[in-house]
Structure formats: C-alpha cells, structure tokens
Structure 1
Amino acid sequence: MDCNEFKREMTSLFDADVDKALAAELKEHLLTCSACSADFYEMEEVVECLNPRYLPSAPVLLKQNIINHLSKEKQPMKNKTTRTFRLNSTIKKVAAIAAVLVAVIIAIPLLHKGNESLVGEAKAGNSLLESSIKATGLIKNMVMKLRVRTLPNDNFALVGTEYDMVEHTISKSFEKPEKWRIDKGGRVVVCDGKQQLMWIPMANGVYKGSLDAGFVEWFRILLDPESVLRKEQTGITDKTSEVRMAEKDGEIHMTVTSKAQGNFINDYSKNRSINESDNRREYVFSSQTKLIKSLKIYVLEGSKETLILETESIDYNVPISPSTFALALPKGAEVTDLAAVQNIKSETFSTISSKRAAEIIFDSMAKNRWDAVKVPFAQYNFLLMKLIKRKCSGLKVVKIGEPFKSGLYPGEYVPCEVVLRDGYTRKICLALRNDNENKVWLVDGGL
C-alpha cells in the first residue's frame, strides 16, 4: 500500500466494522511511514477533541420518526442513478474529516460509556491510554530490559524493598502464535507458542506447562503492553487510581498511584509483590508514537518510597533471533510436567484442612517418612527434595498455628515453629495451595 492509498482509506481505522485485511494493510503501512503516521495521529487528536463533554440523548419519538422517514425513502433511493465524482485533495481532506465526524457521532455512546464522570487529568490520562493502546496494537515485537528488586533464583512475582536490583530481559513476538522469553539469570521462562518451559539453573530442573502456566505470575502483564494500559485505564475509570499528567520535550509523563490489592486482614503478603503494595507507577510516553518509552514503579510505605522496578530500555520492532524462543534442555536436567501435577489425586490431602496437611507434612519430616509426602511435594524435583531432606529430616515440631490468607495468594499460609536437626529454631510460614483440579494440598513455598 502506498501513501495515497493509505490517506484515501485512513478513516477506515476509526470504523469498528473495518475489513480485517484492509485494516492489516493500513497498520502495516503505519509502521513503515512516519509521514502517514503523523497524519493519522493528527486526525486521531481531532477525533479526541470532537468528543462531546455530555452525552446527547435523542427522544424516543424523534428516533422513531427518523426510522419511519428512512423506510419511506428506501425505495426511491434504490431507483435513483448512482453518480460518481472525482474529488481533489482539498475536498478529500474535508471529506475525511466529515467521515470522522460521522464516526464520532455514531460512536458517542460507546466512546463515553462508563467515562462520563472523568474530568481533568483523569480524562486526559484515559485519552492518552486509549491512543497508546491503538499504537501498541501495531507493533510486531518488543525487547525490554529492566531491573527489579528481587532474588535471582526465586519466583518472578517476588519483590522486596530489602532486595538488590536484578537484571531482567523480556523478549516478545506478537505475531501469531505469540512467543516470548523472560530471563532473570536464576530463572528463565520460554514460550514457543505451544507450551511454556521454565529452567531453574540452581536445581538443574525444567518445568513444563501449558500456555496458561503461571510461571511468571504478575510479571506476565509486562509481556503485553496493551494489557498494562488497559489495567491502568480500568483503574482510572473505576477511580481506584490517582492520575497526574505532564508534557515536556516531546514526551508525555503520566503518574498513577494505587492502593494494595488483596485481603490484608493479615499483612504477611504486604509488599511481597507490586500488586500487593501501595505503589506509584511513573510512565513516559512518546508524544509522537504514543508508545511507552519507560516505566518506574515505587513501593510506598507511609512516607518512605522505594524504587522497586525500572525499565532500562524498551525497543519496538527490532530483529529477534528465532532461537530466543527455544530452550535447549541442559544436560542431566530433570523435567517436571505440571499437567500431571494439576491432575494429581490424593484422598488424604484433598479431604483435610491446610493445617492438618501441614501437621502430616512436618510429622513425616520428623520421622523421615518421605514417601508419605510425595503428593504435596509433587512440584519439587529430585535436587530440591535432596536439599529439603538434608535440612528438614529429623526436625522437631514446636507449634503449628492457625492458617490464614493474605494479599492475592490463592492458597493459605500455615505458621509453624520447628527445631532443625542442628538445633536451630526456625519460624516458617508454609505456603499451601489446592487450586488444582482435585483440590489436593500442595507445598508451594516457605521451606
């Protein structure tokens, strides 16, 4: 598609019923032509300016009169001869704007549904996010380098103000089937469009899961900038977030502040992930492309704030080697298929409380009866179990407390106090979850 064709069909991108093949051609041209991109975003800004402050509502009788009138005119219009005119460039531009005006008028109820009460910076933020969502839909791939306060060998979801910054790299291809890779050094997760594989070098273990496997937990949202933007849009619309806007040096700065999500009757999980923290997100967008240029996230604890995540670079539409989305299994690595874990069965560990499960687990550890706890440790490979056995065999149980929920964790925490074989007393919050198909309690952390 050349520039003339693009300009002739550009307004189709504002039509919800646009032909998919045409839309694909238009988006493809947008990616390669800066001049046409500028025209498109200029027209988009015109559309935004034309959005009315209040929703007009046509009376029911007026609507019915229009329908009746159109019905009467239908047959005479069919009989009239169609005439074709050639338009010069000036008239074309006017016609394009007119087409957009018609689209805006028709789309008023859709564009403003749920957003009628937004004012000031919230409304500006919502408008910016909408533009950025459209721009993000045009990108083919992305490489993001960022730093997060976490532990290199631990879960991707884990963050903590006391941890050092750890380098992460996210690579994503948006072409179907979507493929991606997240690497934090001590853990690597790769999705090849068919399945996910997670490698933990420390344990020399590979975990295999479906496309929906939760290996990267909340981190997954960073794989899809559009999801990030839509989540922010929801916060603005629901008024659960506060927004501040500023524009300078060809960049748009947007700051969003939100409260922690989840149940914090017990605050054990507070500040252990970004969603479970009071936090502030600082975005920088390109004024021209509307794409995200950078992101910083701060955890807020009273008057104290700690930078928990910051992007070092975000590159769009850059060459990515196909080998990035493949994981060569390391020599001697043990492969654990989580599909089998999801289907695991156990009458013992599915008919009891989490507290009773913890009692059985620790009693078995104390008596070195490890065969009795194969089921709850089904997610742990040989090397990890070897480490746990070395540490926990022959322990003595001092106390097992009452289970509790905290934050967004789907399972339960069971507080325990034990004396290890070396005489060291340790307080543990054993994380147990039973959100698998057969509601079997599985050890998910804490040891």
Structure 2
Amino acid sequence: MTCRQVQERLVDVPDMEVRAHLAGCEDCAREYAAIQAVLASIRPPARIEASPDFKARVMSKLTEREAPVRRRWVLPRLVFVAGAVLLLVLLAPVVGNLIGNFGGRGHAPASVVSLLAQSAQAMAGARSVHMIARMRTTPRENFEFIDPTMDWVPMEIWSEAGPPARWRVEKPGRVAAMDGTSSMLVIKPDTVSRGNARANYLEWMRILLDTDQLMEKELELARSGNSSASLAEENAAGARQLVLSVAFHPRRWFSTDWVMDRSVSSSDHTRTYRFDPVTRRLEGMQMVMHTRGVDVPVFEITEVRYDEVFDAGLFALAAPDNAISYVDAEQMPVAGPLPQSPKEAAVMLFDALSREDWEAARVVYPATGFNESFKRMFGGLQVIAMGEPFRSSFYPGWYVPYEIRLRSGQVRKMNLAVKNDNRVGRWVWDGGL
C-alpha cells in the first residue's frame, strides 16, 4: 500500500495491510499514533455500565400509557467540541493538500492533525473574546471597506459564546451589535438599521466572531478553492508561535476592476493568524493587501483577551433621537411609476436630489428620510454625465457611472450601486454617493 492509501484509513481500525505498512513506515506510524492520541482525548474516560435493574425500568416505562411530551434537546458545548475535533481528524487527508510542505506526499503530518484538534478544543473553551484591532478605512464606512492609502482607524470586537451568543463590533463612526435575538447597526450620528440575529452587518468580519471555528472555516475556504492556506511554526521576539497564513486571490471573479481593492472580499491579500503554541488560542492577526506590486497592512488584531465578563448592556444598542432608519424595499413609498432598470433608478434618484424633492428620492433611496448634512451636500446637485450600467465581482446589483457637480462646486465622479435582489424585485440605491 502507498502512504496516501494508508493515510485515508488511519482513523479506522487498521487491518493487516495497514498494520504491515505501519510496521515498515516510520512517518505513517508516527501519524497513526498522533491520531489515536487525539481520538483518545475525546473518548469517555471509562466504560459506562448499566445498573442491574436498567432493563426492567426501561420496559416498565415503555408500557406506561402517557401523553407524548415534546422536548427540545440542547446539546452541551462539549459535544460540539468533540464533534469539531473528530471532524478535523477525519478531514486530515484533505487538509494535507492545503497545509505545510509535504514533499508531494499529499497528506497532513501528525503535527497538523494535532494542532487542528487542540485549537478547536482550546478556542471552544473560551466563554468570551475581546479583540483590539485597527483598520485602514473611514470611521463611518461599512466593515468591508478598506483603502491602503488611509490612516488606521481603531476597532473593537466583543463576542460571547452564550447561549445565547452575542456580539458587538465598533469603530468611531459605526457600531453593530446583536443581543441574542435581534441586531442593530448605528451609523453615527443618526442613521439606524434593525435586523434579526442573522443580519449581515459585518460582511467578512463575521468569521472573527466564532473563534472556536476560525481555523476550520479558513481551511474550508481553502478547500473550496477560494484561497490557499499554509501552517508554520515561527519565533517572534524570542517567543514561539504557530502561524496560519491564508492567501486570498479573487481576481478571477471580476469582469471589471472597479471593485478591486475597495473591500476585503475584493482584494488580493494574505491573512496571517498567530496562535499560542501551548494554549492553541488566537493571539493576533494581520491582513496584508497586495496591490500594484506593493504589500500594505490594512487590518490588524493587536490584542486578544479571553473570558472577560461583559456588561449585558454592551450588546443592546439604543437608537439616537430622531434616528433615520434604513427600510426594506417593501416598506418604501410608491409615488408614481417605479424604475425598471439600474439606469432608470439612478436617473430618478439624481433627478429628485437635484430638485430637492426628498419624498421622490425615497422611491429609490431605502430610508425613512435624510439628515440635514445629506441635504446640504446633495440637494440641488447637477448631473454632468451618466454612463451605462455594468457588473463586477460577486456583487448582486449593478454599478451606474456618473459625474455630478455639488452645490459647493465640487465635482464627484463615481459609480452608483443599485440592486433589486429584494423580495419584491424593486430597484433601490445601495451605495456610491
């Protein structure tokens, strides 16, 4: 048998062929021992014996005619930990194609199998995680937006394992939180969006909330072909660290370069995670964008704190006074005919803004109103030119090129984002002003 064939059967009870190979192959024997050690760590410490009257008591219960009772079973966290460990062990032959330098053998070394299992256990044991981070972005823009030319903006991320799970992500001009049942996004000073517990206010950053599944999710992305991963051991400032590097290359998704390097999901970058070699817990992370032949750090987690006790109010946001709320498409007003194409939506929005007809603008703009700063900036604008809509990347909508002159005299040349992937198929503004 080849090493690859043996590797695919190491989690089973070895037959004679496998045992014969293990007897003569030091590498496979070492990996088999490591896998067995991991499996032993999730087996019960002792065999559970039934009491002598167990059968009689069970049969007695079966004969009782009681009304059926529905129970909602909640599996203890330990079950999920054990499942994650076992899953990682079973995936070891596949992960081997992604991690480390194996000299073409195509399977994971024992150290990788052990690391995956131990990391899953260690991270799942954390009751809470508090990350201190920074990002090259603007204070109010969405959590996806990055710009390598900008200064660092501070960020913080809080998450609790629960139940119920809760989280909060904040930077100076934008904060999102989920209290276990609902979520809210506040764009300072006065714009609010409300959603359920699954509302996607965080875009790519959501992966950082589930630290116990972080490594597994990154490896799953690599297996799907969206990235490539490598695992190494390094010494930094005299301290040993385990380093997981994930290279992300999205260029094949783009028909145009408009969205390239404007967000995390649209940039060529490398995410480097650093784990403590003893506890297997995440210690830090850095994202480096590769743009125009230059490598620029754009996101960093500089500190990770575990098992802090958070105040319950941390995850419950209060809407600002006189808040303006984003609304779903079916809640938007209908005043006359609706736009039937991306360009019609752009034309209708700019026409309404030029006339300062704020109610007409809400036919395309999905909000309950506009604040005074928005009105001062865009009211009375003049359209200089408008191009043909185009698509780029995995964005579900369209981009409409435009050039406008604001009342201040400033000329703005950008692309308006509009989409109709809502439940009623209505064309609405989605960004680009």
Matched, 1:169 2:156: yes
From 341, 361, 365, the counterpart of 1:377: 365
From 293, 308, 332, the counterpart of 1:318: 308
CA 1:300 to 1:348, structure 2 compared with 1: closer, same or farther past 3 Å?
Answer: farther
Kept after mapping to 2: 8 A contact 1:256/1:280: yes
Kept after mapping to 1: 8 A contact 2:8/2:93: no
Partner of 1:410: 396
1:412 Cα offset (Å): 1.5
How far apart are the structure 2 equivalents of 1:227 and 1:342?
36
CA 1:426 to 1:291, structure 2 compared with 1: closer, same or farther past 3 Å?
Answer: same
Partner of 2:197: 211
Partner of 2:63: none
How far apart are the structure 2 equivalents of 1:320 and 1:159?
29
Partner of 2:132: 145
CA 1:171 to 1:97, structure 2 compared with 1: closer, same or farther past 3 Å?
Answer: closer
Larger proportion of helix: 1
How far apart are the structure 2 equivalents of 1:102 and 1:427?
59
Amino acid in the other structure paired with 1:334: A
RMSD, aligned CA: 3.4
Matched, 1:283 2:273: yes
Amino acid in the other structure paired with 1:140: R
CA 1:351 to 1:245, structure 2 compared with 1: closer, same or farther past 3 Å?
Answer: same
Q: TM-score, normalised by structure 2?
A: 0.72
1:337 Cα offset (Å): 6.1
Aligned to 2:347, what secondary structure does the other structure show? helix
How far apart are the structure 1 equivalents of 2:287 and 2:140?
21
Matched, 1:201 2:201: no
Kept after mapping to 2: 8 A contact 1:147/1:311: yes
Matched, 1:334 2:332: no
Percent identity between matched residues is 29
Matched, 1:225 2:225: no
Partner of 2:295: 305
Q: More displaced, 144-153 or 269-278?
A: 269-278
Q: How many residues align?
A: 355
How far apart are the structure 2 equivalents of 1:294 and 1:57?
32
How far apart are the structure 2 equivalents of 1:99 and 1:352?
59
Partner of 1:45: none
| Contiguous gaps of at least 5 residues in structure 2 | 17-35, 44-85, 103-107
From 332, 343, 346, the counterpart of 1:355: 343
* Map 1:88-107 → 2, pairs under 5 A: 100=40
From 424, 428, 444, the counterpart of 2:414: 428
Matched, 1:437 2:391: no
Amino acid in the other structure paired with 2:278: Q
How far apart are the structure 2 equivalents of 1:156 and 1:98?
38
How far apart are the structure 1 equivalents of 2:175 and 2:89?
45
Kept after mapping to 2: 8 A contact 1:150/1:166: yes
Kept after mapping to 1: 8 A contact 2:419/2:429: yes
* Map 1:245-260 → 2, pairs under 5 A: 245-248=232-235, 249-260=239-250
Q: More displaced, 227-236 or 181-190?
A: 227-236
Amino acid in the other structure paired with 1:425: V
Deviation string for 1:62-98 (max 9, x for gaps)?
9xxxxxxxxxxxxxxxxxxxxxxxxxxxxxxxxx969
Deviation string for 1:300-354 (max 9, x for gaps)?
1243101111112111112212221122344x2415264x446547597766110
Matched, 1:367 2:330: no
How far apart are the structure 2 equivalents of 1:108 and 1:191?
29
CA 1:375 to 1:132, structure 2 compared with 1: closer, same or farther past 3 Å?
Answer: farther
Kept after mapping to 1: 8 A contact 2:144/2:203: yes
1:119 Cα offset (Å): 6.6
Q: More displaced, 106-115 or 361-370?
A: 106-115
Q: TM-score, normalised by structure 1?
A: 0.70
Kept after mapping to 2: 8 A contact 1:55/1:109: no
1:380 Cα offset (Å): 6.0
Q: More displaced, 306-315 or 254-263?
A: 254-263
1:419 Cα offset (Å): 2.8
From 6, 9, 12, the counterpart of 1:55: 9
Kept after mapping to 1: 8 A contact 2:129/2:306: yes
How far apart are the structure 1 equivalents of 2:396 and 2:289?
22
Kept after mapping to 1: 8 A contact 2:276/2:283: yes
Amino acid in the other structure paired with 1:216: L
Deviation string for 1:261-281 (max 9, x for gaps)?
673221111111122111112
How far apart are the structure 1 equivalents of 2:41 and 2:187?
55
Deviation string for 1:370-422 (max 9, x for gaps)?
32221211236431xx3333233333322211112223433221101223334
Aligned to 2:278, what secondary structure does the other structure show? coil
Kept after mapping to 2: 8 A contact 1:298/1:309: yes
Amino acid in the other structure paired with 2:356: N
Partner of 2:23: none
| Contiguous gaps of at least 5 residues in structure 1 | 1-50, 63-95
CA 1:151 to 1:100, structure 2 compared with 1: closer, same or farther past 3 Å?
Answer: same
How far apart are the structure 2 equivalents of 1:299 and 1:98?
36
* Map 1:33-48 → 2, pairs under 5 A: none
1:238 Cα offset (Å): 4.3
